[in-house]
A and B are shown apart, each in its own frame.
Chain A
Amino acid sequence: MNHEATRTQKPAFAHLIWWFLFAQGGVIAAILIPVHVLVQGILGPLGIVPVVDRHYDTWLRVLSNPLVKLYLLVLIALPFFHFAHRLRYLLVDFGVPAAKSVPAQVVFYGGAVVVALVTIWVLLTTAPISLG
Chain B
Amino acid sequence: MKAPPTTAEAATSAGASTRVYRPEMARGWWLAKRHYFLYIVREFTALPLALWLLWFLVEIQRVSNGPKGYYPHSSPGFVAFSVIVLGFALYHSYTFLSLAGVIIHIKGVPSRLIVLSQFALWLVASVVIAAVLIGFAR
Contacts and interface: CB of A to CB of B under 8 A. Distances in A.
A34 B126 contact: yes
Interface residues of A, number: 56
Interface residues of B, number: 53
| Secondary structure call for the B interface | helix
Nearest to B95: A30
Contacts of B86: 34, 37-38, 41-42
B93 A30 contact: yes
Interface string A39-77: 111101110011111111111111100000000100110
Given A29-B49, A29-B89, 19 more contacts: A30-B122, A33-B52, A33-B53, A33-B93, A39-B129, A40-B56, A40-B82, A41-B86, A45-B79, A52-B134, A80-B53, A83-B50, A86-B45, A87-B47, A90-B44, A90-B46, A93-B30, A119-B57, A125-B64
9 contacts: A29-B49, A29-B93, A41-B83, A41-B85, A44-B72, A45-B78, A53-B72, A79-B49, A86-B45
